[in-house]
Amino acid sequence: MSLKDRRLAELRARIPEVAAAEALDLQQGGALLVDVREDEETAPGSPAGALRLPRGFLELRIEDKAPDPARTILLLCAGGTRSLFAAEDLARLGYADVRSVAGGFSAWKAAGLPVEVPPTLDAAQRERYRRHLTMPEVGEAGQHRLLRSRVALIGAGGLGSPIALYLAAAGVGRLTLIDDDRVERSNLQRQILHAESRLGQRKVESGRTALLDLNPTIEVVAHDTRLDSTNVLELLGGHDVVVDGSDNLPTRYLVNDACQRLGVPNVYGAIFRFEGQVAVFGGGAPGERPCYRCLFPEPPPSEFAPSCAEAGVLGVLPGVIGTIMAAETVKLLLGLGEPLAGRLLLYDGLRGEFTEIAVPADPDCPSCGPGGTVTLSDIAAVCGA
């Protein structure tokens, strides 16, 4: 008997093996089925519902996917050999019930058990998103989720510029730009989405050009229009996240109320001279997350809320706040971490300090409260605009 055969015999004496049909029953009962084959092997098909985790990354990433060491782990490879070695490694890590699927995927297919063809990235996508793919928290499944995502971005100006660029670079599959302004030279001090060569162009078209130049594999939809009560639901509906990079109060209240109606999370940001703020509103269960009106029930008079054109803004400030907004958006799309929900993050650029303020949900909020009475009416007159 060769050394390899003796080693396999030793493993089979210690590692329980299960038939493919039994593995399916165990999976349906709560066991985790892990396909340890390489990506090129799983591309034609893999057991339905299996976690695809190549052998080379198994020990590095299994704890993130299976934090309970008492959970039953079923390992599957092509023919039932690599899964034995993988099972030995997991047992060494402390997993108490690790089993190998006898015959591997060949036996699974021969038994006529459920198979799914996982979405795959092409070579260019693997190269582009390589740094995402090496992160256990993102990986190939997360990148596919980003590629399927749809984000609406209100404003293609100071905040919208870094948000749009980073979301496009991250691979958000469909990015909708909504703005009704043109590119002016005074924008270029902070609106890095645009360029001198595109002065006079509509901002959404200038932005679309820049984003597709950065990542031509995504879809960029341009709406050269101003949001109002007649179009807001149509323009924002069907998106996974709405990002509000607007610079006026009527739009912020309108976007908030529309997002509450649609049940879509709203990533909010605002800037003023050297200061900025970021929060995530709505998107959870009713009453679970506060909305913009929980923080600002009524708009202040216009003299207390000057625009950037009136008050000025440090050119790099939109980059700081917009980048945080983009990060919150990606977190929401991937279901990672803790979003800035129920928290308002304040940034003081002069002091280089961040401060966090709790924002509780208001049970009497006219927008997100159980007895909400807000309608999607334009409130420009209330804001003094």
Active site residue ranges: 308
> H/E/C letters for each residue in the chain?
CCHHHHHHHHHHHHCCEECHHHHHHHHHCCCEEEECCCHHHHCCCEECCCEECCHHHHHHHHHHHCCCCCCCEEEECCCCCHHHHHHHHHHHHCCCCEEEECCHHHHHHHCCCCEECCCCCCHHHHHHCHHHHCCCCCHHHHHHHHHCCEEEEECCCCCHHHHHHHHHHHCCCEEEEEECCECCHHHHHCCCCCCHHHCCCEHHHHHHHHHHHHCCCCEEEEEECCCCCCCHHHHHCCCCEEEECCCCHHHHHHHHHHHHHHCCCEEEEEEEECEEEEEEECCCCCCCCCCHHHHCCCCCCHHHCCCHHHHCECCCHHHHHHHHHHHHHHHHHHCCCCCCECEEEEEECCCCEEEEEECCCCCCCCCCCCCCCCCCCCCHHHHCC
